[in-house]
Structure 1
Amino acid sequence: MDSLKRAAVALPETAVAPEVAPMMEAAELIVTYLERLGVEAVFGVPGGAIEPLYNALARSERRGGPRPVVTRHEAGAAFMADGYARETGKIGVAIATSGPGATNLITGVATAYANKVPMLVITGQPPLRNFGRGALQESSCTGINAVGMLRHCTRYNSLVSHADQLETKLLNALMRAFQTPQGPVHLSIPVDILRSAVTAPREDGDHSAFVYARPALVDLDAVHLLQGELERAESPVFLIGDGCGEAVDAIMRLVDLTGASFITTPDGKGLVNPRHPAFHGVFGFGGHASAEALLRSHTGLVVAFGTAFSELASAGWNSALLNGRLVHVDPCDEHLMRSPMARLHVRGRILAVCRLLIDGFAANDARNVESLPSHNVDSHNPNVALHAPEAVDSDAAPIKPQRLMRELSRRCPPHTRFLADTGNSMIWAVHYLQPLSRRGTGAAGTLRAGQADRRSGTANWLRVMMDFAPMGWAIGAAVGIARGNPRCPVVCITGDGSYLMSGQEIGVAAAEGLTVVYVVLNDSAYGMVMHGQRLAKAEPVGYELPQVDFAALARAMGVPGHVVESPQELEAIDFEALLARRGPTLIDVRIDRDEVPPMIQRLKALGAVK
């Protein structure tokens, strides 16, 4: 001991004590990272096992950082985080307490996984010392194993068992959420870990550059082969999928350079102007006969950009229409593996691929881009063949769903974001929704992406759910989109069945003062089930729903509600005022339940009809 004292005395006077790193609570560290990533809102339901994170969010809100949005159900929180991520291009964040809070999230997390939406999911746990002792709402490996349940629908999934792990695992999760394929990631954190002291991150740290980074890596050899294919092709056909968000302007430039016609998948329709003269409709679920006819009659090159070729996006894997002519462009190996019929696969970021192709055309003087003709984007598009077009103009009551879509197209402003819920709502919207002036025209006739209302490369005027498609998704996702981009009005097209599952989330839109108009297609039935049974000549069972006054339900929650039973009553509603006011509105539309949507392809995929 004396020797230690003598050594201390002998230290030179110029010696400086090592700098002590500042400390903060673990929950505060999480919020600090979210703030640096530009996240404005965190969606969830509070509870004891997640309380420290809510405390940190309360402090964050006071200083202008990320704030909590309290949802009515944890599935709604995941749906809102999904919508927020799609609209902003940032990470969507959903949080829940342990046990049932975590399990309630699973459907929303699985939806994000199937649709490759980047999302950070944080669930609480009881204190580590109580694992295995029957703690309230325990969801550890010795209880109801939430980490195990979420393993199959996340890209990264881990229990934080020591405070020193938190920063590393949080960064690993955030980065993995944006790697290809993108998707949700999950951290399960015991409440005592959330309260622990950890080293604070550097004040000058900026992690957004590598978390949100999207490398422009491409297969150059494949791009050169595609360049040659396009130069030799006469009037190729482009199929545009939902993965083309940031690249759609470049694809439209290629449409003009190559003289291509184009079609979209159901979830790609919202990226394009449906009145573009080269647009021939939607291929896939709820799509148009004109899109399929174009592929059947066309014998040349077909280039698919950014699609997974899932059932709904491929008209039930109708490879006969594409076999031997297809080139598939996508950054995701999982997507490319679903198109074995393609004669060429081009792996890489779609925007980078398109820019290389455009540069190649310019270098070869293929066409002078600046001299390309302009397009009248507001004119009627005769290339798109509608199913039952006479119903679009029908004045019958109850209102035809086709007429409702026409009125929504006509009455909502150009910057409106539409969402259509799973079921008949999606089919009607994909097939008939055709808003005016979605995109302006430049001198070259290229349809621009409306930069005035775009926050990221993900803006999309129509969002529908593909693959893992839960009813009620659009109700929560509409809140997330409106929270992420309050400047754009949001219209959620949903069914009475979906609304009965998730309609309570309209209260979140009211509490947040968000401009969301909920249009409920009310036919007192699970409509897709009803029509599917009729078309397949199956037993008519299990589809009836009670007659519900959804407008009255909305008013009970402090939300203006209207009942519409005819086109004339719909025309009397002042949409301009509804979409300008702060807060949600509900329109209960009594539709003609006997109108059959174009859904036969789904029944064929199920084997219900031939």
Structure 2
Amino acid sequence: MIEPFVPSESPQDPSRRSSGANSSILSIPDVAHLPEPQRETATARIVSALAAAGITTYFGLPGGPVMPVFDAVLRSPGVTLIESRHETHAVFEAMGYWRATGKVPAVVVTSGPGATNVVTGVVAAHLEGVPMLLICGDVAWAASGGRLLQSLGREGIGFEDMLKNVTRAVVRVALPRSAASQALGALRAATNPLNPGPALLIVPIEHGGAQVEVKQRYVEGVRMAVTSQVNDDIAIEVANMLATAQRPLVVVGAACRRYAGAVQRMIEQLRIPFVTTPQGKGIISEHHRFSLRNFGMASSWWARRYTAPGVDVALALGTDLDDVSVGPTPPIGPGGSLVHVDLDPTVFNRNFPTRLGINGDLNPFVERVRSLALELGISSRSAAQLHAEATQGSPFDCEGFRGDESPTLAPHRVIHDLEAAAGPDATYITDIGEHMLFALHYLTAHGPKSFSIHLGLGSMGSGICSAIGHAIGNPERRVVCICGDGGMQMSGSELLVAAKHKLPIVYAVFNDARYNMVYHGYKQQFENEAAWETPWVDFVGWARSMGMPGARIDRPGQITKELLDTLTAPRLPVVLDIRHDASVRIKGAGRVESLQQMSATPPRSAGSGSASTRSSQARSGPSAAHTKKRTPFPGL
């Protein structure tokens, strides 16, 4: 069951630390002697070696100690540099690029504040299992032991120790002649199919700029391959458990993104209703006949109706079932049985008791369950009827959101207008904030590339930057970023990067002049009201000051296809300053509710618990209107 995966060619998106491919073939350059030795810098050898292994796109910011790397990148044909405005933003852009293309990116930053600024992004990439190579310049290795400004070594910041828990490898170039092979070693660790993620390569300036004799060229050579086999007895048992359950459910997590077709075929064979976690939204179309739409935070009312009586058998695929993934929709009820499939066995029994934990790759498992179920005629006879009952009503908190003509613009109407204007083939990316709840709940995602959110760390600004990587990786798709005024104040400088590369991203800024999620969460949790307000920002004027088009939106129906086509015609990012009613919320959808749900005692399976859990190694009532409490914006 070997299915080759070449990072520079095959799209993939585990989106989490536990995700990984079922098999991987990574081309690592081998050695062959050239007839006449030449000389070049160590950083030039690093860049050419990485290019041979598939890394041709670099995101980052320059600075003194890392300039030898930047010089090598700029001089290398076929290699692209995306110059960001902040180091963590560079990582988020690289994450978006990887999600869009499956190609492994590099992020290049300088020492001192360049390195410390990158940490938040690296942690997010670690938690979402995004393979990338982080290259940090450093001050002279020969000066170690002295006090040198911006030193990353143990005599200075101690950067290697700082990142050792959130990277797959930490490598410091020891000698100029070994720089390329050490870079490839770090890349090998980053693309380990069983645990992909960021790896760190530190290049001291005197090693990076040193001339070395070239005695090697890079050719197709050493290959890594991981294969998986699935125990047929376990696959048949799982299929039968789902088929004979009174109320079965499949939970599709973010790690299923690369295997969307295989997961969908298994669901269709077994005829089982499914939900997607927030990070998994759209992996299988929400128009699918067995879809209950999204699960967890901002979950659909279909998912809430279906799970309310208690699921008796659930199959969770590639998700850690954390608070935002579960929220008001527990995957199992009291006495229910959870089958959990993941590459990371530490997720078993963590938040919910696991009856059967399958530690292995998703693709061979779901393919084998489907094929054996087809061969043996295994499928549910009752689940389709249960799905039909759960989906009789609207899945949305506000059933008539598409036609809401309230003069103070409702955020759910904004989502409809955006979707109608940009179309179903657009890629929708949401940043972190109250607006993301409306995107999760009201947007209809049609496939793996239609929706993206970075909830591994939940960092504001991640979506604003990731949209740039998506637009670079998939220039033929319209990219719409749904964000807030707070995130835009933090990360809006990255729109200059989008403008430089002529990326017509639509930035839909939900402008309410406050941290709206914080406002509502604080009020709900502590029964006290604090403003959490910021001065009103005219984002249209702000965009125009940087040479970008924009439009102010304060009434239903103003966002149209014609408006977006006109604004994006110059091939520049577009800013929509959307003055919406900040008092409107989705019932039971926020982070506070998710935390409260997960803080309660989870349902226990009969006879289950850590001691009795079986583990298998896979060897192989919505509101119809919204309330308005204040006029959310003044005239400008």
Q: TM-score range by the shorter chain?
A: 0.7 to 0.9
Distance 1:398 1:199, change over 3 A: farther
Matched, 1:528 2:507: no
Q: CA deviation at 1:183?
A: 1.4
Listed as ranges, the matches of 1:193-212 within 5 Å are: 193-198=207-212, 200=214, 203=217, 205-206=219-220, 210=224
Distance 1:229 1:598, change over 3 A: same
Q: CA deviation at 1:563?
A: 0.8
Residue segments in structure 2 that go unaligned for 5+ positions in a row: 1-32, 385-390, 601-636
Task: Provide the residue aligned with 1:341 in structure 2.
Answer: 353
Encode CA deviations 1:27-74: one digit per residue, 9 max, x unaligned.
1122113322333421101111111111111111xx2x1221111111
Task: Provide the residue aligned with 1:560 in structure 2.
Answer: 549
Distance 1:424 1:104, change over 3 A: same
Task: Provide the residue aligned with 2:370 in structure 1.
Answer: 358
Q: 2:270·2:370 contact (CA, 8 Å) conserved in 1?
A: no
Q: 1:475·1:502 contact (CA, 8 Å) conserved in 2?
A: yes
Q: 1:279·1:383 contact (CA, 8 Å) conserved in 2?
A: no
Q: CA deviation at 1:324?
A: 2.9
How far apart in 2 are the matches of 1:560 and 1:298? Answer: 50
Q: 1:518·1:586 contact (CA, 8 Å) conserved in 2?
A: yes
Distance 1:26 1:235, change over 3 A: same
Task: Provide the residue aligned with 1:464 in structure 2.
Answer: 453
Q: 1:37·1:208 contact (CA, 8 Å) conserved in 2?
A: no
Matched, 1:187 2:176: no
Residue 321 of structure 1, aligned match among 292, 313, 333: 333
SS in 1 for 2:324: coil
Listed as ranges, the matches of 1:179-258 within 5 Å are: 179=192, 180-198=194-212, 200=214, 203=217, 205-206=219-220, 210=224, 215-218=227-230, 221-233=233-245, 236-258=248-270
Listed as ranges, the matches of 1:36-185 within 5 Å are: 36-60=52-76, 63=77, 65-179=78-192, 180-185=194-199
Matched, 1:432 2:442: yes
Q: CA deviation at 1:382?
A: 5.0
Q: 2:411·2:438 contact (CA, 8 Å) conserved in 1?
A: yes
Q: CA deviation at 1:339?
A: 5.7
How far apart in 2 are the matches of 1:239 and 1:525? Answer: 35
Letter aligned with residue 415 of structure 2 = M
Letter aligned with residue 170 of structure 1 = A
Structure showing greater Rg: 1
Q: 1:289·1:386 contact (CA, 8 Å) conserved in 2?
A: yes
Task: Provide the residue aligned with 1:394 in structure 2.
Answer: 404
Encode CA deviations 1:441-480: one digit per residue, 9 max, x unaligned.
xxxxxxxxxxxxxxxxxx4311112241111111111111
How far apart in 2 are the matches of 1:141 and 1:101? Answer: 17
Q: 1:71·1:77 contact (CA, 8 Å) conserved in 2?
A: yes
Matched, 1:33 2:49: yes
Listed as ranges, the matches of 1:368-407 within 5 Å are: 385-407=395-417
How far apart in 2 are the matches of 1:135 and 1:103? Answer: 16
How far apart in 2 are the matches of 1:598 and 1:538? Answer: 17
RCO higher in structure (CA 8 A, sep ≥6): 2
Task: Provide the residue aligned with 1:481 in structure 2.
Answer: 470
Q: 1:486·1:515 contact (CA, 8 Å) conserved in 2?
A: no
Q: CA deviation at 1:423?
A: 1.3
Encode CA deviations 1:214-245: one digit per residue, 9 max, x unaligned.
64454555334323434544673211111101
Residue 408 of structure 1, aligned match among 418, 422, 437: 418
Listed as ranges, the matches of 1:453-602 within 5 Å are: 459-541=448-530, 543-571=532-560, 574-578=563-567, 582-598=571-587, 602=591
How far apart in 2 are the matches of 1:497 and 1:207? Answer: 49
How far apart in 2 are the matches of 1:46 and 1:129? Answer: 22
Task: Provide the residue aligned with 1:418 in structure 2.
Answer: 428
Residue segments in structure 1 that go unaligned for 5+ positions in a row: 1-16, 368-372, 374-380, 440-458
Letter aligned with residue 94 of structure 1 = V
Letter aligned with residue 358 of structure 2 = V
Give me the TM-score of the superposition, normalised by structure 1: 0.84
Q: 2:326·2:594 contact (CA, 8 Å) conserved in 1?
A: no
Q: 2:521·2:590 contact (CA, 8 Å) conserved in 1?
A: no
Q: 2:304·2:328 contact (CA, 8 Å) conserved in 1?
A: no
**More helix, by proportion:** 1
Letter aligned with residue 460 of structure 2 = M
Q: 2:242·2:314 contact (CA, 8 Å) conserved in 1?
A: no
Q: 2:425·2:478 contact (CA, 8 Å) conserved in 1?
A: yes
Distance 1:110 1:104, change over 3 A: same
How far apart in 1 are the matches of 2:172 and 2:530? Answer: 44
How far apart in 1 are the matches of 2:257 and 2:558? Answer: 36
Q: 2:236·2:373 contact (CA, 8 Å) conserved in 1?
A: no
SS in 2 for 1:205: strand
Q: CA deviation at 1:385?
A: 2.2
Distance 1:208 1:433, change over 3 A: farther
Distance 1:19 1:71, change over 3 A: same
Q: CA deviation at 1:325?
A: 2.0
Give me the TM-score of the superposition, normalised by structure 2: 0.81
How far apart in 1 are the matches of 2:341 and 2:273? Answer: 17
Structure 1 window deviating more from structure 2 (355-364 vs 291-300): it is 291-300
Q: 1:306·1:350 contact (CA, 8 Å) conserved in 2?
A: yes
How far apart in 2 are the matches of 1:92 and 1:136? Answer: 29
Q: 2:502·2:571 contact (CA, 8 Å) conserved in 1?
A: yes
Q: CA deviation at 1:299?
A: 4.5
Q: CA deviation at 1:482?
A: 1.1
How far apart in 1 are the matches of 2:227 and 2:595? Answer: 39
Distance 1:383 1:355, change over 3 A: farther
Q: CA deviation at 1:204?
A: 5.2
SS in 2 for 1:502: helix
Structure 1 window deviating more from structure 2 (168-177 vs 329-338): it is 329-338
Letter aligned with residue 249 of structure 2 = V
Task: Provide the residue aligned with 2:388 in structure 1.
Answer: none
Q: CA deviation at 1:575?
A: 2.6
Task: Provide the residue aligned with 1:303 in structure 2.
Answer: 315
SS in 2 for 1:313: helix
Encode CA deviations 1:260-318: one digit per residue, 9 max, x unaligned.
11111111112121122211122111112321321233554211111111221122794
Task: Provide the residue aligned with 1:455 in structure 2.
Answer: none
How far apart in 1 are the matches of 2:548 and 2:210? Answer: 42
Structure 1 window deviating more from structure 2 (521-530 vs 151-160): it is 151-160
Q: CA deviation at 1:131?
A: 2.6
Distance 1:484 1:299, change over 3 A: closer
Letter aligned with residue 483 of structure 1 = I
Q: CA deviation at 1:364?
A: 2.4
Task: Provide the residue aligned with 1:276 in structure 2.
Answer: 288
How far apart in 2 are the matches of 1:548 and 1:295? Answer: 42
Q: 1:222·1:346 contact (CA, 8 Å) conserved in 2?
A: no
How far apart in 2 are the matches of 1:196 and 1:491? Answer: 44
Q: 1:46·1:54 contact (CA, 8 Å) conserved in 2?
A: yes
Structure 1 window deviating more from structure 2 (498-507 vs 83-92): it is 83-92
Q: 1:496·1:522 contact (CA, 8 Å) conserved in 2?
A: yes
Encode CA deviations 1:481-502: one digit per residue, 9 max, x unaligned.
1112212121110000010000
Alpha-carbon RMSD across the aligned residues, in angstroms, is: 2.8
Q: 1:127·1:190 contact (CA, 8 Å) conserved in 2?
A: yes
SS in 2 for 1:54: helix
How far apart in 1 are the matches of 2:426 and 2:500? Answer: 21
Letter aligned with residue 561 of structure 1 = G
Q: 1:560·1:584 contact (CA, 8 Å) conserved in 2?
A: yes
SS in 2 for 1:271: coil
Distance 1:248 1:394, change over 3 A: same
Count of equivalent residues: 556
Distance 1:602 1:323, change over 3 A: farther
Letter aligned with residue 582 of structure 2 = R
Q: 1:520·1:588 contact (CA, 8 Å) conserved in 2?
A: yes
How far apart in 1 are the matches of 2:594 and 2:556? Answer: 35
SS in 2 for 1:149: helix
Distance 1:220 1:95, change over 3 A: farther
Letter aligned with residue 259 of structure 1 = R
